A and B are shown apart, each in its own frame.
Chain A
Amino acid sequence: MLNLLYLRMGSVLVLITLWHITALLADSPMFPLPLNVLNSFMEHISNGELLHHLGITLYRVTMIFLIAMPLGIAFGLLMGNFKKIDAALDTLLVLGLNMPALVVIMLCYIWFGLSDVAAILAVVINKVPTVIVNIREGVKAIDKKLIEVAYIYKVSRYKMLFTFYIPQLYPYIIASARNGLSLIWKIVLVVELLGRSDGIGFQLSMFFQFFDITSILAYSFSFIVIIILIENFIFRPIDTQLSKWR
């Protein structure tokens, strides 16, 4: 375990070293040193604005995640299990999967105004189809022999769903949650940049206008830290807990 930890830290150290050397060679305000980014990061934290905008973006990401995952899982289960529902919704799903995120965002802002609801809705529409596809694949891999056991012993619908069915889908759900989070926060920044006056995306667009590369990197760094914390303190423990029988 310790060796793996060193490997994880090692790759980060290599990246920072390479960055440092390149920045020294470039010797330009457009390519700040890692240390300058860290200083800028501390500064944005101490004047309070980073945490404010980070909080707002995190709130949006969380809302989107909590809406998109259950919706995607529910429709994935329906489409995986019922041929008619699958046939009825499949074309819409392909449409949803291939609709450019930018178009969805623009349409939501035009139709629903430059509001938080429109922003959240836009990302949910972008995210749900990918969850559906993942879960529908998972349903195909369900072991019907175990479902027969539930049927023979006449277990309740609740147990059928949560004891016999969903556990077989955990790997698919965890995978969609992981790549879901990364997709969501990337799109949220675009949504904020296009039509909100707060959040990390909005701040980034401001820094971009001033060519303030150091601040751009400092803000990105803050969100990466959050994602790593979520991975280590939420996803990984849940994954370990759910797969302890393996």
Chain B
Amino acid sequence: MLHIDIRSKKYADQNILKNIHFSLKEGVFLSIIGPSGCGKTTLLRLISSLDSDFEGSIDIETNSIGMMFQEPRLLPWLTVRENIAVVDKIGDPEAVVKLLRMVGLEHTLDTYPKNLSGGMARRVSLVRAFINRPKLILLDEPFVSLDKPTALALQNDLMLFCKSFNPAVILVTHDLDEAIALSQKILFLGGEVTGEIITHVNDHYGFDSLEPTQVLTIKEKILSLYPNILEGKL
């Protein structure tokens, strides 16, 4: 599905990313975690080809990608329906309604983004990311700046969509709990890949499939390997 082989990514003569190699299969949820400034977002921008100035190669076996950013990034002059339809390549108007219904937003079809709450706007952004049934979903800290219940509800919706459409997912985050709860694999990034921990034992999207005690065990295992991770250091 996705093969990453980045030898180096420089910015103003400074190595931001170095020697990053990994592959990802369909149906696998990978979290990338690391301190701020470690190049997480840069890596995501390379994968999404928003930035193509690097040494190495990135092979993606699909040309349909969905992405969520830190902000909802909806076009304020379009209604919710139009915001989703504008990126729709399949062109099934029923699908827009169906996906919005899955996140409980079918009543907002003709609403402008300024009248949506932060959580609602992000759910619309989630629907937009999935409208083309992409094989690859990229998430750049989409839960940041949301309060805890709203973030959890959004994660719930994300998992619902993942189970329905089975994409490969890459989530960039600095929140360890979030990474453990959502992903099958976690990649620790600090200039280059420094470790990989498989958090889930089951082979499909997690979320709620781990017992609280299992979560604790995993967290302890990670913390023993990277004792400073909670302070944002590797």
Contacts and interface: CB of A to CB of B under 8 A. Distances in A.
A167 B82 CA distance: 14
Contacts of A163: 75, 78, 86
Nearest to B138: A152
A146 B76 CA distance: 10
Closest 4 CB pairs of A and B: A153-B87, A245-B112, A245-B77, A167-B77
Interface stretch (B65-73, B100-108, B152-160): B65-73
A211 interface: no
Interface residues on B, range: 20 to 34
Most chain A Cβ neighbours within 10 Å, of B73, B89, B114: B73
14 contacts: A145-B73, A148-B69, A148-B73, A149-B73, A151-B50, A152-B65, A153-B65, A154-B63, A154-B89, A159-B86, A163-B75, A164-B75, A167-B77, A245-B112
Contacts, number: 42
Given A148-B69, A152-B50, 17 more contacts: A146-B73, A146-B75, A148-B73, A149-B69, A149-B75, A151-B50, A153-B65, A154-B89, A155-B86, A159-B86, A167-B77, A242-B77, A245-B76, A245-B77, A245-B113, A246-B76, A246-B114
Interface string A128-156: 00000000000000000110110111110
Interface secondary structure of B, over-half rule: loop
B58 to A, nearest CB: 15
Interface residues of A, number: 16
Interface secondary structure of A, over-half rule: helix
B129 to A, nearest CB: 9
B150 interface: no
Interface in A197-246: 242, 245-246
B216 to A, nearest CB: 37
